[in-house]
Structure 1
Amino acid sequence: MSDEYVKDVFVVNRWILRCAGLWKPSTDAKLVQIPYKIYAIVVFLFVNVYFTSTEFLSLFYTHKNLYNFIKNVNFFLTHFMGAVKVIFWFFKGHVLRDLMGTLESPEFHYEACGGFQPGQIWRKYRRIGFKYSLGFLTLAHMTLSSSYIPPFLTVVLNPPPYQNGTVSPFYQKLPYFSWMPFSYSTPGTYLLALGYQAGPMFSYAYSIVGMDTLFMNIMNFIAAHFVILQGAFASSKMRVLDMNKEMKKNCRHLQTILRVSEDLERVHRYLTLGQLTATLFILCTSLYLISTTPASSKQFYAELVYMVAMGFQLYLYCWFGNEVTLMASEVPVNVWKAEWYDCDLSFKKNMIFTMTRMQKPIYMTVGKFAPLTLQTFVYVSPLGHFLPRMLQNFDSRFSELHIRFLQ
Structure 2
Amino acid sequence: MIRLFYFLYVAILFSCGFVIAICECMIFKESIKKISTFASQIGMILTHFAGIVKLCLLTFGHGKLLRLIQVLEDKKYQYESLGESKPGVMLQEGMKIYNITTYSVFVLYGFVGISGHISSLINLNLEIQGDTFEGTNKTCYDFLPYMFYIPLPHQLKWQCELALTFMDIGFAMHASVIAVHDTLFSGLLNYLKTQLLIVCEVFKTLRVRCLKNIGLPKDYIIMHDTDNPVLERELYRLLTHATEHLKILLRIREDLEYMFTYVILIQAIASLFIISSCLYVGYIVPFGSPEMIALMEFSLCIIIQLSLVCWFGNEITRASEMIRTSLFESDWFSCSPRFKQAMILTFIRMQRPVYLSIGKFSPLTLATLVAICRGSFSYFAVFKSV
Q: TM-score range by the shorter chain?
A: 0.7 to 0.9
Contact 1:378 1:384 (8 Å CA) reproduced: no
Once the two structures are overlaid, the 10-residue window that deviates more, 128-137 or 109-118, is 128-137
The answer for the alignment partner of 2:116 in structure 1 is: 147
CA distance in 2 between partners of 1:237 and 1:67 (Å): 63
Matched, 1:339 2:331: yes
- Offset from partner CA, 1:251-292 (integer Å, 9 cap, x none): 111111111011111222122212111211221222222222
CA distance in 2 between partners of 1:147 and 1:106 (Å): 46
- Offset from partner CA, 1:72-122 (integer Å, 9 cap, x none): 333222111111211222333322222122112222100101011111111
The answer for the alignment partner of 2:150 in structure 1 is: 180
User: In the TM superposition, what is the alpha-carbon distance from 1:32 to its structure 2 partner?
Assistant: 6.1
CA distance in 1 between partners of 2:46 and 2:207 (Å): 54
Q: CA RMSD in A?
A: 2.7
Contact 2:110 2:176 (8 Å CA) reproduced: no
Q: How does 1:279-298 map to 2 (within 5 A)?
A: 279-298=271-290
Contact 2:50 2:267 (8 Å CA) reproduced: yes
Q: How does 1:351-370 map to 2 (within 5 A)?
A: 351-370=343-362
Provide closer, same or farther for how the CA distance between residues 176 and 281 of structure 1 changes in structure 2, counting only shifts above 3 A. Answer: closer
Q: How does 1:97-136 map to 2 (within 5 A)?
A: 97-136=66-105
CA distance in 2 between partners of 1:167 and 1:298 (Å): 21
Higher relative contact order (CA 8 A, sep 6+): 2
Once the two structures are overlaid, the 10-residue window that deviates more, 370-379 or 293-302, is 293-302
> Quick one: which amino acid aligns to residue 326 of structure 2?
N
> Quick one: which amino acid aligns to residue 366 of structure 1?
I
Percent identity (aligned): 28
User: In the TM superposition, what is the alpha-carbon distance from 1:152 to its structure 2 partner?
Assistant: 3.8
Q: How does 1:235-274 map to 2 (within 5 A)?
A: 235-240=205-210, 241=214, 242-274=234-266
The answer for the alignment partner of 1:379 in structure 2 is: 371
Provide closer, same or farther for how the CA distance between residues 253 and 32 of structure 1 changes in structure 2, counting only shifts above 3 A. Answer: farther
> Quick one: which amino acid aligns to residue 147 of structure 1?
G
Provide closer, same or farther for how the CA distance between residues 264 and 167 of structure 1 changes in structure 2, counting only shifts above 3 A. Answer: closer
CA distance in 2 between partners of 1:160 and 1:214 (Å): 46
Secondary structure, aligned partner of 1:330: helix
Match of 2:161 among 166, 191, 199: 191
Unaligned runs of 5+ in 2: 215-233, 378-386
Contact 1:216 1:320 (8 Å CA) reproduced: yes
CA distance in 1 between partners of 2:264 and 2:163 (Å): 33
User: In the TM superposition, what is the alpha-carbon distance from 1:188 to its structure 2 partner?
Assistant: 3.0
* TM-score, normalization by structure 2: 0.83
Once the two structures are overlaid, the 10-residue window that deviates more, 54-63 or 364-373, is 54-63
Provide closer, same or farther for how the CA distance between residues 246 and 33 of structure 1 changes in structure 2, counting only shifts above 3 A. Answer: farther
The answer for the alignment partner of 2:177 in structure 1 is: 207
Matched, 1:69 2:38: yes
Match of 2:63 among 88, 94, 108: 94
CA distance in 1 between partners of 2:333 and 2:116 (Å): 65
The answer for the alignment partner of 1:24 in structure 2 is: none
- Offset from partner CA, 1:203-256 (integer Å, 9 cap, x none): 111111111121111111110001101111111222233212211211111111
Secondary structure, aligned partner of 2:277: helix
CA distance in 2 between partners of 1:160 and 1:291 (Å): 28
> Quick one: which amino acid aligns to residue 271 of structure 2?
T
Contact 1:314 1:377 (8 Å CA) reproduced: yes
The answer for the alignment partner of 2:230 in structure 1 is: none
Paired residues, what number?
351
Contact 2:278 2:299 (8 Å CA) reproduced: yes
The answer for the alignment partner of 1:12 in structure 2 is: none
Contact 1:311 1:383 (8 Å CA) reproduced: no
Provide closer, same or farther for how the CA distance between residues 168 and 278 of structure 1 changes in structure 2, counting only shifts above 3 A. Answer: closer
Provide closer, same or farther for how the CA distance between residues 221 and 340 of structure 1 changes in structure 2, counting only shifts above 3 A. Answer: same
Once the two structures are overlaid, the 10-residue window that deviates more, 300-309 or 182-191, is 182-191
Secondary structure, aligned partner of 1:114: coil
The answer for the alignment partner of 2:382 in structure 1 is: none
User: In the TM superposition, what is the alpha-carbon distance from 1:174 to its structure 2 partner?
Assistant: 2.9
Contact 2:51 2:178 (8 Å CA) reproduced: yes
Provide closer, same or farther for how the CA distance between residues 197 and 102 of structure 1 changes in structure 2, counting only shifts above 3 A. Answer: same
Unaligned runs of 5+ in 1: 1-30, 386-407
Once the two structures are overlaid, the 10-residue window that deviates more, 373-382 or 63-72, is 63-72
User: In the TM superposition, what is the alpha-carbon distance from 1:295 to its structure 2 partner?
Assistant: 1.6
Contact 1:377 1:384 (8 Å CA) reproduced: no
The answer for the alignment partner of 2:218 in structure 1 is: none
> Quick one: which amino acid aligns to residue 150 of structure 1?
S
User: In the TM superposition, what is the alpha-carbon distance from 1:154 to its structure 2 partner?
Assistant: 6.6
Match of 1:80 among 40, 43, 49: 49
CA distance in 2 between partners of 1:300 and 1:311 (Å): 16
Contact 2:39 2:273 (8 Å CA) reproduced: no
> Quick one: which amino acid aligns to residue 171 of structure 2?
M
